[in-house]
Amino acid sequence: MTTETDWRHRTHDGSGTGAGALGFGCWAIGGEWSAADGSPLGWGEVDDEESVAAIRRALDLGVTFFDTADVYGAGHSERVLGRALAGRRDEAFVATKWGNLFDERTRTMDGADRSPAYAREALIASLRRLGTDRIDLYQLHLGDTPLDRAAELRDACEEFVSEGLIRAYAWSTDDPERAALFAEGEHCAAVQHACNVLEDAPAMLELSEERGLISVIRSPLAMGLLTGARGRRRAAEGDIRSAPPAWLSWYEKGGVPAGHWAAWVEAVREVLTADGRTLAQGALGWLWARSGRTVPIPGFRTVAQAEENAAALAHGPLRPEQMEEVAGLLA
């Protein structure tokens, strides 16, 4: 029987690597950055002092898992996270990613490198920016990497574990076959994949259950659709949602929520906000009820957002009857 405290902990069955049931995604705190063609890849302007305060507030509230990537803000997110964790590193579980090439000076991303040599180069650079001597979860950020090359990178990650540079590793991919390949490694503790109340990921969750992996859930709030705002507000310039790439189907050009997605949010709003939850807290509760291996990583930019998301832990998973009602509404 799962106790009230058990549900708040996630463990990889193979290595024993553990994390809390809620993490915070650090994409947004990287600030503005762009692709080589100038299209935005960040979430707009950000206040570094507020970001630091939000991270420290999260720690105070018991949220210790922080997920970033070297490319977020072209290195800036890692630097801000490292600054916020100065003196408190041992309280945190730090996850970052590698694979994309970027220029810190121009804050642009251009290309990718899937070689084991670059994996080591990127790791050393991330350790330096984060101001730490180890990374708790090192994740391949290139979801479409061919299987043969991915096997080489998995083996490189095992070397990094043996050298004490990382504790465990994962792949950020929505492909079960690719995730399964990485999971063959002894210290592959997780898979990062998309999932939320609007777009389930049954195959990925099933894989995590079968392999004893932690499911690190990106886009748990559908990139803002499930945060409570009503209507068709536009995203600000410099926000990736203002010029959404092909994979970002939740928004139309200009950052306006796509009509059918917005309608589905309204369909489930009442159920998700029952029991005194905010919409975001209900969406997180849905993920915890969906699988006991999920660690959603909602993004944040302010202390208030960190406090609201952390408060979801007090509400816990949705009840079975609420899950059934949501399923019926979205059928």
Task: Spell out the domains of the chain, with CATH numbers in brackets.
Answer: 6-330 (3.20.20.100)
User: pLDDT value at position 237?
Assistant: 80
pTM comes to: 0.95
Which residues make beta-bridge pairs with 103? 108
For the chain, how many residues are written?
331
Q: Are strands 108-112 and 100-103 parallel, antiparallel or unpaired?
A: antiparallel
**Cβ-contact 176, 202 below 8 angstroms:** no
Q: Which residues, other chains included, contact 47 with Cβ-Cβ below 8 Å and sequence gap of 6+? A: 301
Q: Please list, in sequence order, all residues whose beta carbon lies within 8 angstroms of the beta carbon of residue 149, skipping any fewer than 6 positions away.
A: 114
One DSSP character per residue, 116-178 reads HHHHHHHHHHHHHHHT-S-EEEEEE--TT--HHHHHHHHHHHHHHHHTTSEEEEEEE-S-HHH
- Please state the three-class secondary structure of 79-111 as a single string: HHHHHHCCCCHHHCEEEEEECEEEECCCCEEEE
pLDDT of the chain along its 331 residues, tens only?
334 447 788 988 667 778 899 999 999 999 999 999 999 999 999 999 999 999 999 999 999 999 999 999 999 999 999 999 999 999 999 999 999 999 999 999 999 999 999 999 999 999 999 999 999 999 999 999 999 999 999 999 999 999 999 999 999 999 999 999 999 999 999 999 999 999 999 999 999 999 999 999 999 999 999 997 765 567 888 889 988 998 899 999 888 898 899 999 999 999 999 999 999 999 999 999 999 999 999 999 999 999 999 999 999 999 999 999 999 999 9
- List the strands of the sheet with 93-98, edge to edge: 23-25, 65-67, 93-98, 135-140, 166-172, 188-194, 214-218, 294-296
pLDDT for 4 equals 46
Cα–Cα distance, 46 to 181 (Å, whole number): 37
Helix, strand, or coil (residue 251): strand
3-state class (DSSP) for residue 253 = coil
β-strand partners of 197:
none
pLDDT score at 93 = 97
